[in-house]
A and B are shown apart, each in its own frame.
Chain A
Amino acid sequence: MVALKRGDFSVRLPDDWVGVPGKIADTLNDVIVRNDRLTRELERVSRVVGKEGKITQRAALPVADGSWRSLIDSVNTLIDDMARPTTEMARVIGAVANGDLSPDDGPRGGWPAPKR
């Protein structure tokens, strides 16, 4: 537990204990695995989305409930917000390139009107 608190997500309790200590070991090991996966997932999305520009990538945990799910949802909300200007820009430019010059409200009220 102390190692986990210090940020060592490689520690595990033995998996051959029985009874209540066995249940504690299994549960603690599962919590450590979740934290380890979360850290790796945050690192992955921050790398592929932020540095490699793959804005369609999203974070995911195999089993996520309660606050674990909220954590992942928050990350994905952030990525959605970050990706929106680029995807909107591409969408509008694509529409204009195809000859569609009609007004477009878009998801947030559209782009500001061009200055004349």
Chain B
Amino acid sequence: MLKQEASTNSFDPGPLLHALTALQKGDFAARLPENATGIGREIAKAFNGVVALNKNLANELQRVGSAAKADKKVSRSKKQPSAKGSWAKSFESVNSIVDTISQTHTVEARNGGAPRITRRSRTAENCGRIEERRFLGSLAR
């Protein structure tokens, strides 16, 4: 099918293979020029969208990771309108981890540490109970 499309639209698959290989190797800056026409333009737009989503996910994880490491307030990821399906699941997982961190540090603050994260969620409340049980269990032992 790709062969047929390529022949009817004069699509050069070389740059696509090059960009895909770069993405495979972890280069989230790889992009295809969108100035082509026909199928080439559609492929370029789709590819660039995929790489941008990977880049956004990496940036979000780096942002919350750096904030957590530097003892700064960690906030949830902003809504990503372009993230659908499994992309949305990935971003939601990041937020779930952020919620857990928030709740953990809230418990830490309650037990004497310095508060730095205040955001909470229903999920985080469950996590807090787990942390508290773990803490009380440690005391009992």
Binding site for B on A (CB under 8 A): 1-2, 4-9, 13, 17, 20-21, 23-25, 27-28, 30-31, 34-36, 38-39, 42-43, 45-46, 49-53, 64-71, 73-75, 77-79, 81-82, 85-86, 89-90, 93-94, 97, 111-112, 114
Contacts and interface: CB of A to CB of B under 8 A. Distances in A.
A89 B135 contact: yes
Using C-beta atoms within 8 Å of the partner chain, give the interface range for chain B: 35 or more
A46 B97 contact: yes
A65 B3 CA distance: 31
Contacts of A13: 2
23 contacts: A5-B46, A6-B84, A27-B17, A27-B21, A28-B20, A35-B54, A35-B86, A51-B130, A53-B134, A65-B26, A66-B28, A74-B64, A74-B65, A75-B65, A75-B97, A77-B68, A78-B98, A82-B97, A82-B100, A85-B107, A86-B131, A111-B113, A114-B112
Contacts of B94: 42, 46
A20 B6 CA distance: 11
A9 to B, nearest CB: 5
Contacts of A78: 61, 64-65, 68, 97-98, 101
B3 A21 contact: yes
Minimum-distance CB pairs A-B, first 6: A66-B26, A7-B85, A74-B61, A50-B100, A42-B93, A53-B130
Contacts of A90: 134, 138
Contacts of A27: 17, 20-21, 24
Contact of A77 (B2, B65, B105, B141): B65
Interface of B: 2-3, 6, 13-14, 16-17, 20-21, 23-28, 42-43, 46-47, 49-50, 53-55, 57-58, 61-62, 64-65, 68-69, 83-90, 93-94, 96-101, 104-105, 107-108, 111-114, 123, 126-127, 130-131, 134-135, 138-139, 141
A70 B90 contact: no
Contacts of A34: 24
